[in-house]
């Protein structure tokens, strides 16, 4: 087994687990619990008040990488940036690498994640073999698919830390090649783009070339792009989107006939992080002068997220709009999934009722089949097996019209996603009633898990954390 010199060994991890259990046991009974960690990719900006913070800094490292078995042992607070840095030298990567560098392994599993390999590899939690969890009851258990904690293993995804916190994960890895070849296909019709998603994802091939990654961008009504990417051994050139060039603006430029584009595998994995997709434009980074002056090391999603958090705390942008006489805006920061055959309907609705663009598009299909007698393998986010879905991501501000409620657009999206039989991720604000929420996210299964692993309700419940705690 290969180890990086800076990785903590298992003995250090065991000692850290023991310390964390003692710290947890010392917390006042009935007091809310939160993790004390430096970064977050959640967009539920809420005041933690005086809630004690558990120090989980000891769980932020890659413990080991086994290039023969193609597995890694990873602390729950380890970022994908650090994990990728440890696996790429072995010619390996996690099966799904979420788009943003500081998403943690534990966060991607308990809060779901997705990326352009999800059409073949599912969601990040599907490549997890084992999770060590500090439960709400204060116990530390190891959950696997086939042991006495298998219900926790399958119920942990989409529980958002309300059943417990992951301390260590064992995950599968897959081989990579040094470079990635990108082809961008342009469509003027959303239905045709969804048909192409179905066809290409089923075959994992297009025009005779294997397809390893698929995602897309709806730049405007009638302007959609599907990006197909394939591992290659050699590249005639590689583009760099960490400096003055911007990745998403390159997509229309390289679309259509031609050689496409090439990136190193490292730069492909983090192609969206540099500009937080296209959200860096809110900070002026699409202005060439600003972009040249903004340090390369600060072109990162976690930097922008901290700036957004500062704006939320100070209310600066709302007050500025007020004094300039401009309409107030509603934050609309969501990822939703609908079946591919309803994708065009969702886009038509979104363009006509919301009008925000661009929109990220990413196809996914569950990798794992449920056991006999089970309806869903991952009960708290019950997607149908053998069905291709498309994730639509949209992140920005929508000007409110007179008479519209504070959460008008968020609620409108939730209603439409429900009408189309889809789901939305819960990393951002949600506005469901309790009946709606538990119908969508399998309240019966959640309550059984909560009773088993947090009977004293030391941790917030899922509805309270994702909806009620606003």
Domain assignment present for residue 24? The answer is yes
User: What pLDDT score was predicted for residue 30?
Assistant: 75
SS3 state at 447:
helix
Cα distance from N-terminal residue to C-terminal residue, the chain: 46
Domain assignment present for residue 290? The answer is no
Domain assignment present for residue 286? The answer is no
User: How does DSSP assign 187-221, residue by residue?
Assistant: ES-HHHHHHHHHHHHHHTEETTEE--EEEEEEEET
Does 29 share its domain with 136?
Answer: yes
User: What pLDDT score was predicted for residue 470?
Assistant: 47
Residue whose token pair is 């000891």: 58
Total-model pTM? 0.91
Q: Cα–Cα distance between 335 and 234 in angstroms, integer?
A: 34
pLDDT tens profile 122-147:
999 999 999 999 999 999 999 999 99
Does 64 share its domain with 140?
Answer: yes
Domain assignment present for residue 406? The answer is yes
Residue whose token pair is 């809420």: 46
Look at the chain and report how many structural domains it folds into: 3
Does 170 share its domain with 185?
Answer: no
The first and second tokens of residue 223, run together, are 């302007």
Cβ distance 416 to 349 under 8 Å? yes
**How many other CB atoms sit within 10 Å of the CB of residue 448?**
14
* Total residues found in the chain within this entry: 470
In the 3-class helix/strand/coil scheme, how is 122-139 assigned residue by residue?
CCHHHHEEEEEEEECCCC
Domain assignment present for residue 144? The answer is yes
Domain assignment present for residue 94? The answer is yes
Counting residues of the chain whose pLDDT is more than 70, the rounded percentage is: 90
Residues whose CB is less than 8 angstroms from the CB of residue 198 and which lie 6 or more positions away in sequence, other chains included: 340, 341, 388
Does 151 share its domain with 81?
Answer: yes
Low-confidence stretches of the chain (pLDDT beneath 50)? 1-7, 322, 470
Does 394 share its domain with 434?
Answer: yes
Does 56 share its domain with 153?
Answer: yes
Domain assignment present for residue 110? The answer is yes
Q: Quick one: DSSP state of residue 2?
A: B
Q: Cα–Cα distance between 93 and 148 in angstroms, integer?
A: 30
SS3 state at 179:
strand
The last residue of a domain, from among 175, 206, 226:
175
Q: Cα–Cα distance between 159 and 242 in angstroms, integer?
A: 34
Domain assignment present for residue 266? The answer is yes
Does 390 share its domain with 455?
Answer: yes
pLDDT tens profile 286-296:
999 999 999 99
The last residue of a domain, from among 251, 271, 291:
271
Going by DSSP bridges, is the β-strand pair 261-264/179-187 parallel, antiparallel, or unpaired?
Answer: antiparallel
Does 49 share its domain with 152?
Answer: yes
Residue 309: which H helix or E strand, with range? Answer: helix 301-314
User: How does DSSP assign 63-79, residue by residue?
Assistant: EEEETTTTEEEEETT-B
Instruction: Give the domain range for residue 264.
Output: 179-271
Does 209 share its domain with 340?
Answer: no
Q: Cα–Cα distance between 309 and 384 in angstroms, integer?
A: 35
Q: How many CA atoms lie within 13 A of 292 on its CB side?
A: 2
CA 87 centroid distance within chain: 20
Does 377 share its domain with 355?
Answer: yes
Going by DSSP bridges, is the β-strand pair 209-210/329-339 parallel, antiparallel, or unpaired?
Answer: unpaired
CA 254 centroid distance within chain: 26
Does 170 share its domain with 215?
Answer: no
Does 29 share its domain with 87?
Answer: yes
Cβ distance 226 to 196 under 8 Å? yes
Domain of 62, CATH number, reads 3.30.465.10
The last residue of a domain, from among 271, 300, 322:
271
């Amino acid at each position: 087994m290969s180890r990086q010199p800076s990785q903590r060994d298992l003995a250090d991890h065991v000692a850290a687990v023991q310390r964390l259990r003692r710290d947890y046991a010392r917390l006042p009974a009935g007091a809310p619990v939160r993790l004390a960690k430096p970064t977050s990719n959640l967009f539920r900006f809420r005041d933690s008040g005086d809630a004690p913070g558990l120090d989980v800094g000891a769980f932020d490292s890659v413990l080991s990488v086994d290039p023969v078995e193609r597995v890694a042992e990873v602390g729950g607070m380890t970022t994908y940036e650090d994990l990728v840095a440890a696996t790429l030298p072995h010619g390996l990567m996690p099966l799904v690498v979420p788009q943003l560098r500081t998403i943690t392994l534990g966060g991607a599993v308990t809060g779901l994640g997705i990326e352009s390999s999800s059409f073949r590899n599912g969601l990040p939690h599907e490549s997890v073999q084992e999770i060590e969890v500090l439960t709400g009851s204060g116990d530390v258990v190891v959950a696997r698919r086939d042991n006495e904690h298998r219900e926790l293993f399958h119920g942990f995804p989409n529980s958002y830390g309300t059943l417990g916190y992951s301390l260590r994960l064992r995950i599968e890895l897959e081989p990579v090649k040094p470079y990635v070849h990108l082809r961008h296909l342009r469509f003027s019709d959303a239905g045709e783009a969804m048909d192409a998603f179905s066809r290409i994802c089923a075959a994992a091939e297009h025009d005779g070339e294997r397809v390893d990654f698929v995602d897309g961008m709806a730049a405007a009504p009638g302007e959609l792009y599907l990006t197909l990417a394939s591992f290659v051994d050699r590249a005639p050139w590689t583009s760099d989107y960490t400096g003055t060039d911007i990745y998403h603006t390159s997509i229309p430029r390289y679309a259509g006939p031609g050689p496409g584009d090439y990136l190193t595998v490292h730069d492909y994995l983090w192609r969206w992080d540099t500009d937080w997709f296209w959200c860096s434009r809110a900070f002026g980074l699409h202005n060439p002068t600003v972009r040249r002056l903004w340090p390369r090391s600060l072109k990162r999603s976690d930097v922008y997220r901290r700036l957004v958090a500062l704006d939320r705390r100070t209310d600066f942008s709302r007050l500025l709009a007020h004094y300039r006489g401009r309409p107030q805006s509603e934050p609309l920061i969501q990822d939703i999934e609908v079946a591919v055959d309803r994708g065009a309907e969702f886009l038509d609705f979104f363009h006509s009722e919301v009008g925000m663009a661009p929109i990220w598009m990413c196809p996914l299909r569950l990798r794992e089949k449920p056991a006999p007698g089970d309806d869903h393998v991952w009960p708290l986010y019950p997607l149908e097996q053998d069905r291709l879905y498309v994730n639509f991501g949209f992140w920005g501000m929508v000007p409110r019209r007179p008479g519209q409620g504070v959460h008008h657009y968020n609620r409108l999206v939730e209603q439409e996603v429900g009408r189309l039989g889809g789901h939305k991720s819960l990393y951002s604000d949600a506005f469901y009633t309790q009946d709606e929420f538990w119908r969508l996210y399998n309240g019966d299964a959640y309550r059984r898990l909560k009773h088993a692993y947090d009977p004293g309700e030391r941790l917030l419940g899922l509805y309270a954390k994702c909806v009620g705690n606003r």
